[in-house]
Structure 1
Amino acid sequence: MANPIGLSHSTGRSLGNSFCTAVALTLNVLILLSSTGVQAQFVPPGVRSVELDEQLDIPLNNGSQGEERNQADSFMRLGGQAQRQGNYAQAIANWLQALNIYQRMGDVEGEGLTYDYIGVTYAKIGRYQQAEDALRRRVGIARSRQDFQGQIYGLNNLGTILLESGSPESAQQTFAQALTIARSIKHRAGEGLSLSNLGLAAAARGDYFEAIKRYEAALVLRNQWDDAQGEGNTRNNLGDAYRAVNAHKAALIAYQGGLRLSQATRDIPNQFRALRGLVQSYSALKQYPAALKILEQHRTLAQKQANRREELLSLRLTAQIYSTTGNWATARTLYEEAIVLANALGETQEEAFLRNDLAQIIYYRMSN
């Protein structure tokens, strides 16, 4: 693997208060895998297992102006608007326009920031090669500026892309570099993030006990740094790892913490993650009433968020529990409801699985 170089979000430009706020809330994100392969088994088609949800909010404070600068900054704003609306292709197109202007001006700082946004957004749509290329360019700029904090976060971004694109060993090396830099400058938030991501790399290799060790070390730092959103994500990761080694009671504690923190920070993706994990853990312990109670929360949240794929998951898991406990009539009703929803969503594979499960229930009832 090429030697990964640092990525920086710490630009110094002033693009206006409203734009800076939008950037901090929607664009300055650190990519974190939200699940192991174990969790992905319980996510229906179309529900992303990767969340771009950890943010780095670094103030922008450089006041250089000019007509070209204003034009480039305008493209940045348009890109941010498109990104918040989910139009990632248009967002990238706008940022490429801004990038061209910054390069023409010789504005290395603006160029680096733009590469950051482009790389993260390419990753959101699964174009990992383009994401990696953009982020490597971005991290090169950070390293040339001797921006150590930027290198910490950049290496974590780059490592996560490598991890998701199927290179866990390279990802581990990249996260380890970030950890070394974080410890060398006593950057506790970066150390916690790097340890959490090293846990993800270990989980991707199937080494769940190593993952648990990394997650627990990360939690100490994230709690000390008062990083509630990061801590919630790591607790969910820890729950995944405990569940993978059949330590379901420990997983329950981890997911409960993840749910509490994600609710406090209004982190909807991690709320879904924690609720799914709790359902699976209670089910593994045969505590079905508790699992059904959590599923009610899950479905309520899905309906409130108009997230029909998570609602489909609620129906399927609820139907499975009723089937397991011998309540065939309720299970059949839920499967039929889930089939209608899967059909409406165009989830043909999920619909086929649901029809197969329903057929087994019908056959079992007819033969008994």
Structure 2
Amino acid sequence: MYKFYICFLILGFYFAFDKEITLADSNLQNSQALEQRSQWLYENGKLTEAISFLRQAIVNYRSQGDVIGEAIALRNLALVYQQLGNWKEAEKIISDCLKILPKITEEIEYQRLLAQALDVRGQIQLSLSHAEQALDTWKQAAEIYQNINDVSGFTRSKIYQATALQTLGLYAQAIDSLTEIQQQLKTESDTLIKSKALLSLGDVLRRVGKNQEAKLALKESLKIAEKLQSEQAIADALLGLGNTAKVEKKYRDALAYYQRAVQTSPFPETKLQGKLDILSLRINNKARSESIITVAEIENLLNELSQSRTAIYGRINLAQNLMKIENNDSQKIVNLLVVAMEKARDLGDKRAEADALGYLGNLYEKHQHLEEAQKLTEKALLFAQGINAPDLTYQWQWQLGRILKAKGDKKTRSLFIKTLQKRYNLCAAI
């Protein structure tokens, strides 16, 4: 089941406020006030409202000939659009940012802002399912940070690289990278970057079945987040602990963690993820009446986030959960997946489109409409292979194998089994 987390913790806003300014310069003060307001809106989940403040700040900086201020505001604006799922606009803006950076004459400042812009470009590339490109972009950023002795920036880019490695299914490499970061940060003071590194390590350890080690990392992440009083960092750590408790079948503990995360986070994206996790637990425990209430809460959040990537995966996740309920509303599930597919297509998110197609095929498979199930699954498989997503490729190949077996197509199914065995051996080697 796809998990989505917002990355505000370590890829937050940067400002040009450390520059020496003349207090009489009202235009510059106004630009700073606009950025400060946009930061507050961003940190409180009001992303759309932050856009107008940032755009006005960009106009002001440009009129003053302040390239550094303009570049930073452009970088922040691209980050907002990335979080909203408008990747076309995000890529355009980050390209504009990169174009003006060579005008900066101070070399260290130029390198620092270049690395920060590359961090955002990597996020956009990963959002578009270009994990290999994102990995290369973050490697470039990490090299720049290392050259200018920016430890925080270097660590941040290494964490992003680990995220890309996980997306590519390279979990062992991701663990090695994050463990190295953890060791380096042990002697450092507690920061949000340190909390995020531990969170990422805990999540990937859980994925490979190392639950005890995962809990240690996640609890340390939570401890740091609580010390720093970061609501979003606290909520992210709680979600991670909830997921680990769920894997260990400690459902009461998992429910408590998820509920705390929903109550703590200021962001609707995280609230949605927590509610989806709660729904999954309640369906597993056959708590039908509580599930109905949770579904209604989720639908309200989906309406609030209707145009975002988070909402796309939220619809897919909700559809998956509803498919587990006996005597479910099949038409409602179809509608959720079709809307998710259309939104994914609009945003150019091939991974989400592959997910929606695959689960729609799964629904038809469950209802024994095997011809339609096969067509949808084959299409999902083509999308997954096209974006080099080994996890999805494996998942939809298995589904296609089941469908072919149910249809009695022994010859084609045999070829798929051989392909799957090769992929299994490759994954095991990795």
TM-score w.r.t. structure 2 length? Answer: 0.61
Q: Residue type of the partner of 2:256?
A: E
1:229–1:261 Cα contact (<8 Å) kept: yes
Q: Does 1:256 align with 2:256?
A: no
How far apart, CA to CA, are the structure 2 residues paired with 1:360 and 1:50? Answer: 34
Q: Does 1:61 align with 2:8?
A: no
How far did residue 304 of structure 1 move? 5.3
Q: Residue type of the partner of 2:26?
A: N
How far did residue 307 of structure 1 move? 6.2
Choose which of 122, 126, 129 in structure 1 pairs with 2:91: 129
Q: Does 1:91 align with 2:50?
A: no
How far did residue 216 of structure 1 move? 1.2
Cα deviation 1:212-244 (Å, max 9, x = unaligned): 111111222333332421011111111221222
Unaligned runs of 5+ in 1: 1-37, 44-48, 362-368
SS at match of 2:7: strand
How far did residue 116 of structure 1 move? 3.0
Closer, same or farther in 2 for the Cα pair 1:52/1:302, shift >3 Å? Answer: same
SS at match of 2:20: coil
Closer, same or farther in 2 for the Cα pair 1:318/1:120, shift >3 Å? Answer: closer
- Higher-RCO chain (CA-CA 8 Å, sequence separation at least 6): 1
1:192–1:219 Cα contact (<8 Å) kept: no
How far apart, CA to CA, are the structure 2 residues paired with 1:216 and 1:277? Answer: 17
2:191–2:228 Cα contact (<8 Å) kept: yes
Closer, same or farther in 2 for the Cα pair 1:256/1:108, shift >3 Å? Answer: same
SS at match of 1:215: helix
Choose which of 53, 57, 71 in structure 2 pairs with 1:112: 71
The equivalent of 2:141 in structure 1 is: 178
Closer, same or farther in 2 for the Cα pair 1:306/1:101, shift >3 Å? Answer: closer
SS at match of 1:253: helix
How far apart, CA to CA, are the structure 2 residues paired with 1:307 and 1:171? Answer: 25
254-263 or 294-303: bigger deviation: 294-303
Closer, same or farther in 2 for the Cα pair 1:315/1:80, shift >3 Å? Answer: closer
How far apart, CA to CA, are the structure 2 residues paired with 1:180 and 1:305? Answer: 33
The equivalent of 1:293 in structure 2 is: 253
The equivalent of 1:70 in structure 2 is: 26
More helix per residue: 2
1:236–1:274 Cα contact (<8 Å) kept: yes
The equivalent of 1:236 in structure 2 is: 199
Q: Residue type of the partner of 2:77?
A: I
Closer, same or farther in 2 for the Cα pair 1:138/1:222, shift >3 Å? Answer: farther
How far apart, CA to CA, are the structure 1 residues paired with 2:79 and 2:270? Answer: 24
How far apart, CA to CA, are the structure 2 residues paired with 1:322 and 1:109? Answer: 51
SS at match of 1:159: helix
Cα deviation 1:151-190 (Å, max 9, x = unaligned): 4444333333333333322222222223333334443333
Closer, same or farther in 2 for the Cα pair 1:95/1:166, shift >3 Å? Answer: farther
How far apart, CA to CA, are the structure 2 residues paired with 1:261 and 1:65? Answer: 37
SS at match of 1:60: coil
227-236 or 160-169: bigger deviation: 160-169
Pairwise CA RMSD: 3.4
The equivalent of 1:219 in structure 2 is: 182
Q: Residue type of the partner of 1:156?
A: D
Closer, same or farther in 2 for the Cα pair 1:71/1:256, shift >3 Å? Answer: same
How far did residue 267 of structure 1 move? 2.3
SS at match of 1:53: coil
Q: Residue type of the partner of 2:91?
A: Q
How far apart, CA to CA, are the structure 1 residues paired with 2:267 and 2:69? Answer: 36
Choose which of 271, 291, 296 in structure 2 pairs with 1:335: 291
The equivalent of 1:31 in structure 2 is: none
Q: Does 1:145 align with 2:112?
A: no
How far apart, CA to CA, are the structure 1 residues paired with 2:54 and 2:16? Answer: 22
The equivalent of 2:228 in structure 1 is: 265
The equivalent of 1:276 in structure 2 is: 239
Unaligned runs of 5+ in 2: 304-313, 329-430
Q: Residue type of the partner of 1:243?
A: R
2:82–2:123 Cα contact (<8 Å) kept: no
How far apart, CA to CA, are the structure 1 residues paired with 2:240 and 2:302? Answer: 26
How far apart, CA to CA, are the structure 1 residues paired with 2:51 and 2:323? Answer: 38
How far did residue 308 of structure 1 move? 6.7
Cα deviation 1:282-315 (Å, max 9, x = unaligned): 22223x2xx4224224314523557677556555
How far did residue 42 of structure 1 move? 4.3
SS at match of 1:52: coil
How far did residue 83 of structure 1 move? 4.7
Closer, same or farther in 2 for the Cα pair 1:360/1:53, shift >3 Å? Answer: same
Counterpart mapping for 1:156-175 below 5 A: 156-175=119-138
Cα deviation 1:122-177 (Å, max 9, x = unaligned): 33333322342243135434576343444444433333333333332222222222
How far apart, CA to CA, are the structure 2 residues paired with 1:280 and 1:193? Answer: 24
Closer, same or farther in 2 for the Cα pair 1:132/1:359, shift >3 Å? Answer: same
1:295–1:318 Cα contact (<8 Å) kept: yes
How far did residue 255 of structure 1 move? 1.7
Q: Residue type of the partner of 2:205?
A: Y
2:67–2:101 Cα contact (<8 Å) kept: no
How far apart, CA to CA, are the structure 1 residues paired with 2:73 and 2:268? Answer: 33
86-95 or 206-215: bigger deviation: 86-95
